[in-house]
Amino acid sequence: MHEMSIAEGIREVIETSARQNGFARVTKVRLEVGRFSGVEREALEFCFDAVMRGSVAEAAELQIIDIPGRAMCFDCEKLVEIEHRLDPCPNCGGVRLLPQGGDELRIKDMEVL
């Protein structure tokens, strides 16, 4: 379960930011997660709650923002949304696609006190 290490990494970022910026509590963390990132949402939510215990983000709300998969189609020259990396172009049916997004995994922002 790599979601545990992801949650631990988020905790490190939060604690470093708290020390550098002088806040004492985090009430909400908004996380952008791309469709192709390989992250299981439910597992990450569970791990986040467990890992944040005893930190400045204990009991913080985790809001996950889903980022769609995108690709550039070489056949119709359009940027399109796709469900899976190997899907054909939903616009023209072409199979020559270059992924352009959907593998994101980053903290968008936090609400702090």
Assign domain 3-68+102-112 one CATH number from 3.40.50.10490, 3.30.2320.50, 3.30.930.10, 3.40.50.300. 3.30.2320.50
> pLDDT (tens digit, 0 to 9) for every residue of the chain, 113 residues total?
599 999 999 999 999 999 999 999 999 999 999 999 999 999 999 999 999 999 999 999 999 999 999 999 999 999 999 999 999 999 999 999 999 999 999 999 999 99
Nearest in space to 71 (alpha carbons), one of 34, 95, 100, 35? 100
Q: How far apart are CA 97 and CA 108, in angstroms?
A: 27
CA 44 to CA 75: how far, in whole Å? 37
| Whether 51 contacts 18, CB under 8 Å | no
CA distance 74 to 88: 11
